């Protein structure tokens, strides 16, 4: 159930500013189901109540957010002819207006945010915002201190510009966490390739302040609430 104040709902539906909405309510131009409501503080259930302004039903786009633990083998797209997409993982949800925020490679697992909130997606993906993305990485060999230093320190991966600084946390000789603030094509794989190592397993474990819920098995997802989104906004 999703409860919200009537006046907020009317503002979100672009009926008018807060003061205009107050006026319209007072004038009896707003109905919730069969009842004229004049008090903007009344809570409505946006899943089941119908709100009418001057007799016409108001529809307010609802912003929705899902945390998917992306499994390997599906693509970060909304449609694909050959493979399952990340939207196919959201079984039982209406996915028509949803899209993944950014891309993970087909063989990468982990946290993928799926939403219909274009503004949030834009902010999270904007190169100017430097949102931190943390990945768990297994390598095909031992990583040296020198390689760690190189990967952290603006490594050149053959693009126009070197990478921005990264943070590497060594977990085992061939396992690390890496935090980057960009989202270039195959970036993590290419950063390690540049020091002669191959990424054999890659999983995103957080984006901004929001971490993957480790109780989600690959392929499982959960809905995120307002509080979760505030952490990442």
Dump the DSSP string for 81-96: SSS-BGGGGSTTS--T
Overall residue count recorded for the chain in this entry: 233
In this complex, which beta carbon is closest to ligand URA, that of residue 87 or of residue 112? 112
Task: Tell me: does residue 138 bind ligand URA (CB under 6 A).
Answer: no
Contacts of ligand URA in 189-208 (CB under 6 A): 189, 202
Instruction: Kindly state the tokens that stand for 32.
Output: 């919730």
Bridge pairing between strands 109-115 and 167-172 = unpaired
Of 104 and 148, the one with the shorter C-beta distance to ligand URA is 104
Closest Cα partner for 13 from 36, 224, 49, 35?
Answer: 49
Binding span for ligand URA by CB under 6 A among 11-19, 33-41, 79-87, 181-189: 181-189
- Taking CB under 6 A as the binding criterion, the range among 47-55, 78-86, 90-98, 180-188 that sits at the site for ligand URA is 180-188
Smaller CB separation from ligand URA, 25 or 75: 75
The least CB distance from residue 201 to ligand URA, in Å, is: 11
- When asked if residue 95 is in the footprint of ligand URA (CB under 6 A), the reply is no
Buried/exposed code over 117-147 (b: 16+ C-beta within 10 A; e: otherwise): beebbebbeeeeeebebbbbbebeeebeeeb
Q: Mask of contacts with ligand URA, 46-85, x by CB under 6 A?
A: ----------------------------------------
Is position 186 an interface residue for ligand URA (rule: CB under 6 A)?
yes
Q: Which of 32, 26, 24, 27 is nearest to 6 (CA)?
A: 32
Q: Could you say whether residue 182 binds ligand URA (CB under 6 A)? A: no
Q: Between 67 and 188, name the residue whose CB sits nearer to ligand URA.
A: 188
Among 24, 113, 188, 224, binds ligand URA (CB under 6 A): 188
CA-nearest of 191, 181, 93, 180 to 143 is 191
Contact region with ligand URA (CB under 6 A), list: 114-122, 138-146, 185-193, 221-229: 185-193
Facing residues of 223 across strands? 66
Q: Looking only at residues 97 through 116 of this chain, which bind ligand URA when binding is defined by CB under 6 A?
A: 104-105, 108
Nearest to 197 by CA among 137, 154, 152, 156: 137
Contact 74, 89 (CB under 8 A): yes
Q: Which residues are identified as catalytic? A: 105
- Biggest alpha carbon distance in the chain? 73
Q: Does 187 bind ligand URA (CB under 6 A)?
A: yes
Q: Which residues bind ligand URA (CB under 6 A)?
A: 104-105, 108, 186-189, 202
């Amino acid at each position: 159930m999703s409860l919200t104040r009537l006046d907020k709902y009317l503002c979100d539906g672009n009926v008018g500013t807060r003061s205009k909405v107050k006026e319209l309510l007072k004038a009896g131009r707003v109905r919730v189901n069969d009842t004229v409501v004049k008090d903007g503080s009344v809570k409505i259930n946006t899943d089941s109540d119908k709100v009418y302004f001057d007799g016409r039903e108001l529809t307010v786009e609802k912003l929705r957010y899902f945390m998917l633990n992306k499994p390997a083998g599906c693509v970060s797209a909304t449609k694909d002819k050959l493979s399952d997409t990340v939207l196919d993982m959201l079984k039982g949800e209406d996915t028509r207006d949803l899209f993944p925020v950014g891309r993970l490679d087909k063989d990468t697992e982990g946290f993928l945010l799926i939403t219909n909130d274009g503004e949030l997606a834009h902010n999270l993906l904007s190169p100017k915002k430097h949102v931190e993305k943390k990945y768990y990485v297994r390598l095909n060999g031992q990583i040296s201190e020198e390689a760690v230093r190189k990967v952290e320190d603006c490594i050149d991966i053959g693009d126009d510009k070197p990478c921005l600084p990264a943070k590497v946390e060594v977990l085992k000789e061939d396992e690390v966490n890496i935090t980057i603030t960009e989202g270039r094509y195959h970036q993590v794989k290419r950063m390690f390739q540049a020091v002669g190592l191959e990424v054999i397993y890659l999983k995103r474990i957080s984006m901004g302040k929001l971490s993957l819920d480790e109780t989600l098995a690959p392929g499982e997802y959960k809905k995120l609430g307002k509080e979760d989104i505030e952490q990442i906004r």
